[in-house]
Amino acid sequence: MKRGFLKAKTVVTPQKSPVEEAALNPSPFIGDGGYMYCTIPQDAPPNEPVSECCLPPETVANLLKIPGFPHPMQPIVEVLFRLGESPEKGLGLFATRAITQGEVLLDRRPLLVSSMSQRPLTTKALEAMIAKISLTGQPPNPHKILSSSMETIVGRMRPENRAAYMALANSTPDSPVLGIFDTNGAGIVDAELNDNGGPTCTYSAVCDIISRMNHSCCPNTSRVFDKNSFSIRLYAARNIAKSEELTFPYVDLLSCKADRQENLDEYGFVCTCHACVDPASDDHREDIHEFEFDPPRLLKWARDKTLPDDWLLKKCYRQLELLEQEGLQSIDEYWEVLADLSRVYLCFGDIKNAREWAARAYQCQWIHCRRFDRADIDVILGDKYEQSAFWCLRQR
């Protein structure tokens, strides 16, 4: 751990604007709601990319416990996209050559990472707000707190990062600093940033180039936040043709078309992607959503000789077909069905096929596999697969 980093100063200068305050206090400090304002990595040389952050102190402490934090980002030897005009969408990113599923397109430290959001606040933030009410008798305004927090973070940015941030789109009626955060912020799931017992909260990151990507309900890219390098890595979730636009989802992909559009309304556009014009898509997505991925069902089939041998295999292949048809290789269900196919073949004692599907699951780096228990997939790929609980289970 870097010494002194957590000895944060509590700054109380209400007469100064947050931007002035930030300029006076470049070191980490605790702001409204008990969040810590800090630069990650701290003490970075000018050529090292940095993120300005507003995080719970426990999250920062857990990050600093990672040996060698921050790890180097993945070097990108070839730029595989260009910025260009997207019909009816303004600017977008386009592939400059054919890209293979799994290729890394970008590894980038976000301009900003914040656990402050208009969504539910952490317990600590709520406690701080309650304390304010009891002091002043006036309920604090969450919108005002968030706005002030964003001004503080942006005020702390390096000038070039601030310029890149301010150049991003704002599709809200809010001030640019807050509106850009709301328009471009991408959620980071708790497990990606803080799987070490810190407070559970919603994190959001704004990245300059990645935030240029337009939405699709059949996205061809996926991004993963790597807390070790404190960067967002962008992967091709399937093969992408030369000149094809790179897309990313702004909304939950397994909700129905009407719900997706309702959420997209706040971005001010109507989605016309393949899924939004295909009348069968809603039913397909509902089927994908309802597919059960639970080992108990697999175990039940493996032991129940009244069920046909291919009972589960057929269901898995249908699920995979639907996922590919809907262009949903970026979501967790894709990893899960590949892993299930591998387990089913292991139940047959077919190690060749089991390993082929396990390898495909393993390659899905664009799906944050740490969220899953993939120990059995590692066993299938290793030389101790005969010790797996699934090995030859259908033949016993």
How many residues of this chain bind Zn ion (CB under 5 A)? 4
Of 71-79, 145-153, 216-224, 288-296: span binding Zn ion (CB under 5 A): 216-224
| Nearest distance, CB of residue 141 and Zn ion, angstroms | 35
Q: Minimum distance between the CB of residue 276 and Zn ion, rounded to whole angstroms?
A: 3
Shortest Å, Cβ 217 to Zn ion: 3
Binding segment toward Zn ion, per CB under 5 A, in 4-12, 265-273, 280-288, 353-361: 265-273
3-state secondary structure the chain: CCCCCCCCEECCCCCCCHHHHHHHCCCCEECHHHCEEEEECCCCCCCCCCEEEEECHHHHHHHHCCCCCCCCCCCCCCCCEEEEEECCCEEEEEECCCECCCCEEEEECCCEEECCCCCCCCHHHHHHHHHHHHHHCCCCCHHHHHHHHHHHHHHHCCHHHHHHHHCCCCCCCCCHHHHHHHHHCEEECHHHHCCCCCCCCCEEEECCCHHHCEECCCCCEEEEEECCCCEEEEEECCCECCCCEEEECCCCCCCCHHHHHHHHHHHCCCCCCHHHHCCCHHHHHHHHHHCCCCHHHHHHHHHCCCCCCCHHHHHHHHHHHHHHHCCCCCCHHHHHHHHHHHHHHHHHCCHHHHHHHHHHHHCCCCCCHHHCCCHHHHHHHCCCHHHCCCCCHHHC
Select 103 or 282, whichever has its Cβ closest to Zn ion: 282
Q: Between residues 118 and 255, which has the closer beta carbon with respect to Zn ion?
A: 255
Shortest reach from residue 181's CB to Zn ion, in Å = 24
Does 234 interact with Zn ion (rule: CB under 5 A)? no
* Contact flag: residue 93 with Zn ion (CB under 5 A): no
Stretch that binds Zn ion, among 7-15, 263-271, 301-309, 363-371 (CB under 5 A): 263-271
Q: Segment near Zn ion (CB under 5 A), from 122-130, 147-155, 173-181, 269-277?
A: 269-277
Q: What is the per-residue binding string for Zn ion in 166-205, x denoting contact by CB under 5 A?
A: ----------------------------------------
The piece of 121-129, 155-163, 264-272, 354-362 that touches Zn ion (CB under 5 A) is 264-272
Rounded to the nearest whole angstrom, what is the least distance from the CB of residue 6 to Zn ion in the complex? 44
Residue 11 within binding range of Zn ion, rule CB under 5 A: no
Report, in Å, the least distance between residue 42 CB and Zn ion. Answer: 41
Residue span binding Zn ion (CB under 5 A) among the ranges 32-40, 91-99, 212-220, 357-365: 212-220
Neighbours of 75 (CB within 10 A): 7
- In sequence order, the 6+-apart residues with CB closer than 8 A to the CB of 340 are 293, 298, 312, 316
Phi and psi based region of residue 78 (left: phi greater than 0; alpha: psi -120 to 50; beta: remaining): beta
Residues between 271 and 290 that touch Zn ion (CB under 5 A): 271, 273, 276
Task: Return the number of the residue (77 or 258) whose C-beta is nearest Zn ion.
Answer: 258
CB half-sphere exposure, 57, CA atoms < 13 A: 15
Please say which residue, 326 or 336, places its beta carbon nearer to Zn ion: 326
- Least distance from Zn ion to the Cβ atom of residue 12, Å: 48
**The only residue of 217, 339, 346, 367 in contact with Zn ion, by rule CB under 5 A:** 217
94 vs 269, beta carbon nearer Zn ion? 269
Nearer to Zn ion, 251 or 369 (CB): 251
When the beta carbons of 271 and 302 are compared against Zn ion, the nearer one is 271
Of 215 and 355, the one with the shorter C-beta distance to Zn ion is 215
Q: Tell me, what amino acid is at 98?
A: A
Q: How many CB atoms lie within 10 A of CB 318?
A: 14
The least CB distance from residue 249 to Zn ion, in Å, is: 9
Binding site for Zn ion (CB under 5 A): 217, 271, 273, 276
